[in-house]
Structure 1
Amino acid sequence: MTATQADPALQALMLPFADGTLAWPGGGALFLRARDGWPLHEHALPGLVCEQGFRPDAEALQRSGFEPRAPDDARYPLVLLLPPRQRDEARALFAAALARRQPGGTIIASAANDAGAKSHEADLARIAGPLVSRSKHKCRVFWTRPGAAGGDAALAAQWRALDAPRPIAGGRFRSRPGVFAWDRIDPASALLAEHLPDDLRGHAADLGAGWGYLAAELLQRCPGITALDLYEAEARALELARVNLAPFAQRAALGFHWHDVTTGLPQRFDAIVSNPPFHAQGNAARPDIGRRFIAVAAEALKPGGRLWLVANRHLPYEAVLDASFGGTRLVAQRDGFKVVEAVKAGGASARAPR
């Protein structure tokens, strides 16, 4: 999202400062899950520290002069946040905001009405005490009252633990709330893994690797893979992938990259696997992201290199596949998903469409 695009939740978040209801503190402020947008540029915000783990949003903040930082233990007189849709993840973030607030400081949050705003407001009130609330731009903005008594510190401590990685899939992997398909193996990725051939070899990449399921399956099924690079835009997911791929550290050279695939790749590969996203951070469909993943994969593959892709059956990827590759074939369709193999033109290993 660029600084000029509409972001109603961010507009609502900054409204109490814009109209003078709240004063910006002299001691700076922390913005959790920060996003850039024009409301951040209407007035000076001295001492604003941003935390953002989603690479495209972090890069947008940097382009606007904000420097996203990794989480630390510093406390601030003001903590702002845009809670995520997933409730356990949001509760953990509210608890983190409480821990990062200075005594007597303010926590302020905003969410769209159709993204759980009322539930988020009720959750913050449970651990922080009475709130002030306003509705604007089809969103709710709500904040703590300085010095107000109330809240449940024990519950806040419990909620902080909701973000901790935990075993899933019978203990084979570790995951956490909020990352894609966090508590299960995504059926589309499982379908792709089921059809992966065992003759993929050389240097491979997983684009949009998530918490590492496809990468693990690729290494397990394809003994000829000697190196594998994982590209993932969400830092919380990439941390998990490092843990989940640790058993393969002696099996192949592994690389983990916090990276927005749509900006291109710096290396060339013999094989690529991908279950590309078709949403950004919101719910609106974004098939252009998947199309860009395909184009980037074609650019990054060596001649004769192979892309193995899974996607929702209805997504319009065929045109970019045909334009970007020497040959493509539909490998499987099931439960609303399709698996496609595409081969880069040229090279001795190139295959004809079947």
Structure 2
Amino acid sequence: MNDRMTTPWGELEPTRFPEDPRERLRAWDASDEYLLRYLADEEVSLDGTVVVLGDRWGALVTALAAHRPVQITDSHLTREATRANLARARADAAATLLTTQDPPPERIDVLLVRVPKSLALLEDQLLRLAPAVHADTVVVGAGMVKEIHTSTLKLFERILGPTRTSLAEKKARLIFCAPDPRRPRGTNPWPHSYRLPKDVGPVSGRTVVNHAGVFCAERLDIGTRFFLRHLPAGGGARRVVDLGCGNGVVGTAVALADPGAEVLFVDESFQAVASAEATYKASGAPGHAEFRVGDALEGVPDGSVDLVLNNPPFHSHQATTDATAWRMFTGARRALAPGGELWVVGNRHLGYHVKLRRLFGNSQVIAGDPKFVVLRAVRE
């Protein structure tokens, strides 16, 4: 596989984060190349404030480093990949890295958008950025054909202005939007809150807060519902981690059931951690909690945790992969004290019991139904 990206501004060697020599997925795709080629061919002026929203692994920001772009991302892994790729290109200080929770720039002259998987996240971010966009702002979106839908185009049109698409090249497509600052946009519906059903343990009837882009932000997903019904009994664990916390409903359930527990909420999504903190505060949980954006259990001391609860994702952007789950499991084994437990919920077909048995030397089925299984592994 060619690991060099050819751009109008030279060749790059962007990588994903964390870097893995066995990784077969590239840190860019045809839509990144299409977007950069368009900017060069059309001689788009990049002299003002250039904002890159949703850059997957920092390839766009690194390619445009000479123009000191502003990156806005929801992903800790993307931000770390961007830092590494900028350093590799010797452009460490050539970009401003913001999260989706940070205040955006006051003026945007060029807005480049890598279309995210979540339409809700796109809506939230376009609404947040719209006040900074003016009539002369160049707005160009990019994505693979399978990522761009009629609903995507309607969102650009409703929030920013008239929108059209390019022809497809190498299964990639561009979105062109002509901003109309006079366009009424309405209020931002995010974050979204809802009440939990009455049959999910300590959090029954409690309010869940979801920022845009968080998994199942408009309702409780069936996997989490199943997990909530089969959590370990409280009282024994003192240091608990809700790993890949999402909106934080699992860790909040533990905090409500065992006020003496110290709960650490961890996710690589800035939107998720903000949601978890809001959910926890809305619940009125009496215990101590910490909220951290990071890569799995990186930075958590060895042997310092009694219980890890995990509903691992099996997608990274559009790619299906077990790499994230494996990092979570290995991190949990390192962070757990002897006798500490990892509890995992997942689809049956993912075969997590095999990975856990290989890593921990044991794996026990706590509960199961035709679709999901809850597994327990003990650090011996």
TM bin, normalised by shorter chain, reads: 0.7 to 0.9
The equivalent position to 2:245 in structure 1, one of 175, 186, 209, is 209
Give, as a single letter, the amino acid of the residue that structure 2 aligns with 1:167. Answer: Y
Pick closer, same or farther for the CA change 1:59–1:192 going to 2, 3 Å.
same
Kindly report the root-mean-square deviation, in angstroms, between the aligned alpha carbons of the 2 structures.
Answer: 2.6
The equivalent position to 2:38 in structure 1, one of 7, 10, 16, is 16
**Kept after mapping to 2: 8 A contact 1:269/1:305:** yes
What is the CA distance between 1:203 and its match in structure 2? 0.9
Give, as a single letter, the amino acid of the residue that structure 1 aligns with 2:15. Answer: T
Which deviates more from structure 2 when the two are superposed, residues 302-311 or residues 26-35? 26-35
What is the CA distance between 1:108 and its match in structure 2? 1.3
Pick closer, same or farther for the CA change 1:79–1:323 going to 2, 3 Å.
same
Q: Any stretches of 5+ residues in structure 2 without a counterpart?
A: 1-13, 17-25, 87-94, 197-204
Give, as a single letter, the amino acid of the residue that structure 2 aligns with 1:157. Answer: G
TM-score between the two structures when normalised by the length of structure 2: 0.80
**Kept after mapping to 1: 8 A contact 2:130/2:160:** yes
The equivalent position to 1:240 in structure 2, one of 256, 269, 275, is 275
| Cα distance in 1, alignment partners of residues 275 and 288 from structure 2 | 17
What is the CA distance between 1:22 and its match in structure 2? 4.0
What is the CA distance between 1:328 and its match in structure 2? 2.2
Partner residue of 2:228? 193
Partner residue of 1:125? 157
| Cα distance in 2, alignment partners of residues 250 and 239 from structure 1 | 16
The equivalent position to 2:186 in structure 1, one of 141, 157, 160, is 157
The equivalent position to 2:369 in structure 1, one of 334, 337, 343, is 334
**Kept after mapping to 1: 8 A contact 2:311/2:344:** yes
**Kept after mapping to 1: 8 A contact 2:142/2:173:** yes
Partner residue of 2:174? 141
Q: Any stretches of 5+ residues in structure 1 without a counterpart?
A: 346-354
Partner residue of 1:352? none
The equivalent position to 1:219 in structure 2, one of 246, 249, 255, is 255
Q: SS at the partner of 1:245?
A: helix
Q: SS at the partner of 1:140?
A: strand
| Cα distance in 1, alignment partners of residues 80 and 228 from structure 2 | 32
Partner residue of 1:184? 219
Pick closer, same or farther for the CA change 1:340–1:67 going to 2, 3 Å.
same
Give, as a single letter, the amino acid of the residue that structure 2 aligns with 1:204. Answer: V
Partner residue of 2:7? none
| Cα distance in 2, alignment partners of residues 24 and 67 from structure 1 | 19
After superposition, what is the alpha-carbon deviation per residue over 1:30-66, rounded to whole angstroms, capped at 9, x for unaligned?
A: 1122333545545654131111121101111111234
**Structure 2 matches for 1:45-124, cutoff 5 A?**
45-65=66-86, 66-69=95-98, 70-124=102-156
Pick closer, same or farther for the CA change 1:344–1:54 going to 2, 3 Å.
same
Partner residue of 2:9? none
% identity of equivalent residues: 22
Pick closer, same or farther for the CA change 1:136–1:119 going to 2, 3 Å.
farther
Q: SS at the partner of 1:318?
A: helix
Partner residue of 2:27? 5
Q: SS at the partner of 2:215?
A: coil
Pick closer, same or farther for the CA change 1:131–1:173 going to 2, 3 Å.
closer
Q: SS at the partner of 1:205?
A: strand
Pick closer, same or farther for the CA change 1:36–1:201 going to 2, 3 Å.
closer
Partner residue of 2:332? 297
| Cα distance in 2, alignment partners of residues 272 and 9 from structure 1 | 38
**Kept after mapping to 1: 8 A contact 2:61/2:82:** no
Pick closer, same or farther for the CA change 1:341–1:30 going to 2, 3 Å.
same
Give, as a single letter, the amino acid of the residue that structure 1 aligns with 2:329. Answer: I
What is the CA distance between 1:13 and its match in structure 2? 2.6
After superposition, what is the alpha-carbon deviation per residue over 1:68-114, rounded to whole angstroms, capped at 9, x for unaligned?
A: 12333421211111232333332333333332223422111112221
Which deviates more from structure 2 when the two are superposed, residues 66-75 or residues 38-47? 38-47
Pick closer, same or farther for the CA change 1:6–1:89 going to 2, 3 Å.
closer
| Cα distance in 2, alignment partners of residues 250 and 316 from structure 1 | 34
**Kept after mapping to 1: 8 A contact 2:255/2:262:** no
What is the CA distance between 1:258 and its match in structure 2? 0.5
In the comparison of the two structures, how many residue pairs are matched?
Answer: 336
Q: SS at the partner of 1:163?
A: coil
Pick closer, same or farther for the CA change 1:197–1:132 going to 2, 3 Å.
closer
| Cα distance in 2, alignment partners of residues 216 and 250 from structure 1 | 7
| Cα distance in 2, alignment partners of residues 245 and 168 from structure 1 | 13
Which deviates more from structure 2 when the two are superposed, residues 296-305 or residues 245-254? 245-254
| Cα distance in 2, alignment partners of residues 22 and 126 from structure 1 | 27
